[in-house]
Amino acid sequence: MAVRQISSNRCFGGLQKVFEHDSVELKCKMRLAVYLPPRAESAKCPALYWLSGLTCTEQNFITKSGFQQAASEHGLVVIAPDTSPRGCNIKGEDDSWDFGTGAGFYVNATEDPWKTNYRMYSYVTEELPQLINANFPVDPQRMSIFGHSMGGHGALICALKNPGKYKSVSAFAPICNPVLCPWGKKVFNGYLGPDESKWKAYDATCLVKSSSGSQIDILIDQGKDDEFLTNGQLLPDNFIAACTEKKIPVVYRLQEGYDHSYYFIATFITDHIRHHAKYLNA
């Protein structure tokens, strides 16, 4: 489980690093960003995983969100992986921006030719934590997850499918009900096949509806002027309704004037870091 350092930059007393490793799940080289706060020099810290959205790499979050100051203050190691396998030479993987490269959607594909490499769910929930635990000063028992858009979808399903694994979860503008939105229908049909009953295993709203309830506290921020909210890609109301019915605690904040961009994320990122620190440092 070796990692190779690509870059290292001092940031708010800690270090923002980028690494490369050979992924067993994805069968390709993968890059990931790791922020090590000053506290990591002398003690094991909680691990907070960030999942990015469509078209992103490990770079978007670490260069645009400004999370490092809050992570430094709260002593959190923050891990940001890439969003899909890279360079697998699969026919069609680069044909569209919302399927294939940069669009792993955090599922384990079951259809050819994707099923060999496109296993982002297992990568995020199993291989990546094992890699981080083996190579960095983190406490394996203190782990949380958050993300944006496609990555918000990923964070919600990872937390809901693994009760007790994550101490907390939050999301910015998550794709909440992908079985009913154009993005979800496209990628689920491609990765999981035409049987829509199989799609529900990777849909946060469906997971809540079929659950017995969860004690994990969920924080969601959504920009009111988000074009993807307006055109029906995100469907947060469906998720909130399902959580209300199942009595799952969720704080949903509709932010006036904000869109889907990293300006929106940067504005509220400190709130999300605090949300996770409350549980990770308890």
Nearest to 113 by CA among 190, 18, 179: 190
Across the chain, how many H-helices and E-strands are there?
10, 9
90 to each of 22, 113, 161, how far by Cα in Å?
A: 18, 7, 29
Contact call for residues 109 and 192 (beta carbons, < 8 A): yes
Any idea which residues carry the catalytic annotation?
A: 149, 226, 260
Distance, CA of 196 to CA of 189 (rounded, Å): 8
Q: Confirm if 222 and 256 have CB atoms less than 8 A apart.
A: no
Backbone angles phi, psi at 261, to 5 degrees: -85, 175
For the chain, the helix, strand and coil percentages under 3-state DSSP, each to the nearest 5: 40, 25, 35
**Strand bridging mode 138-148 / 45-51:** parallel
The SS3 assignment for 70 reads helix
